[in-house]
Amino acid sequence: MTASPDYQAILETIAAKVRPLAAQGRVADYIPELAKVPADKFAMAVHTLDGRRFAVGDADERFSIQSISKLFTLLMALRMKKETLWQRVGREPSGNPFNSLVQLEHEQGIPRNPFINAGALVITDVLCRHFVQADRAVLEFLRRLSGATDLNFDSAVAESEAEHGYRNAAMANFIKSFGNLDSPVDTVLQSYFRQCAVRMSCQELATAGLLLANHGTVPASGEALLTPSEAKRINAILLTCGTYDAAGDFAFRVGLPAKSGVGGGILAILPGELAVAVWSPALDENGNSLAGAMALEHFTTLTGRSVF
């Protein structure tokens, strides 16, 4: 059996290599509250299925997870709706920006996948029909997976998103016009903005990600939340759709299923072994963390670990 890599040494090497990249990206200034986050922040955490934890940088500092929340809302919706979920949202890469409305017209209000904004709104609608307060249910689910009972929303970020969320509002109304949104548009939007504003650290995200690394079972409790088949399928969608319209390039460079967010976080999964979370707020042109994506590329290169 191949010896386990020296993850701590590798993380420290990666941090030294990628920190300078932050100066080349820009924070998500279209959400004013996110624009206030220092661009030079960096953190990375690796949690393995056998209980080892490694970290570098600001790995205990919480940040707005933004679209990483879409992974966990998909998990919740899939548990409830099973295969019928795919009647309302597709499983294909979009090839367009995450906030594009273009495809909805041609595809009759069925979003291309659950990780673009349109798809995430449909998933949020599923939760809104099932829970009295869907955003609270998402928060409790994240607390359960991460083991951090004090996780909470960043109300200032949620309010900032709501105040400037015209495109998401247009998208939700457009989907509603095709009959693919059952709840009131405002209910869906407010829940969506709040789930994106949950604050988590890289350590907490890596712990939460172990569910998918462990084929649908929470390692700490042994609780099976997904079947191995469901976990496999979610990992597949992460690989093909999880990093916006850069998913192909990300798979080529990194080779791990991953979900990114415009808060600068990326959560990646190596099934059967580990979860790794990285945070660097400065983004590339696709909305992915510039230093974060490079850190994960170095990680798979230096460890020799990927799904390929």
102 is known as an active-site residue: no
CA angle, 61 then 65 then 66, to 5°: 150
Task: Say whether 114 sits in a helix, a strand or coil.
Answer: coil
Evaluate whether 249 touches 263 at the Cβ level (below 8 Å): no
Q: Which of 151, 144, 135, 235 is nearest to 193 (CA)?
A: 135
Catalytic residue among 27, 56, 64, 67: 67
Catalytic residue among 56, 185, 244, 278: 244
Q: What is the dihedral of CA 228, 230, 234, 240, to 10 degrees?
A: 90
Catalytic residue among 56, 89, 254, 262: 262
- Which helix (DSSP H) or strand (DSSP E) does residue 187 occupy? helix 185-196
Q: Which residues lie below 8 Å from residue 235, measured CB to CB, with a gap of 6+?
A: 212, 257, 269, 271
Please name every residue paired with 274 in a beta bridge, in sequence order, or none if there are none: 48, 270
157 is known as an active-site residue: no
Q: Is 4 annotated as a binding residue?
A: no
Q: Is 168 annotated as a binding residue?
A: yes
Catalytic residue among 41, 70, 176, 259: 70
4 is known as an active-site residue: no
166 is known as an active-site residue: no
Q: Is 244 annotated as a binding residue?
A: yes
Q: Is 161 annotated as a binding residue?
A: yes
229 is known as an active-site residue: no
Q: Is 117 annotated as a binding residue?
A: yes
Catalytic residue among 64, 146, 185, 192: 192
Catalytic sites, residue numbers: 67, 70, 192, 244, 262
**What residue numbers does the annotated binding site cover?**
67, 117, 161, 168, 192, 244, 262
**What residue numbers does the annotated binding site for substrate cover?**
67, 117, 161, 168, 192, 244, 262
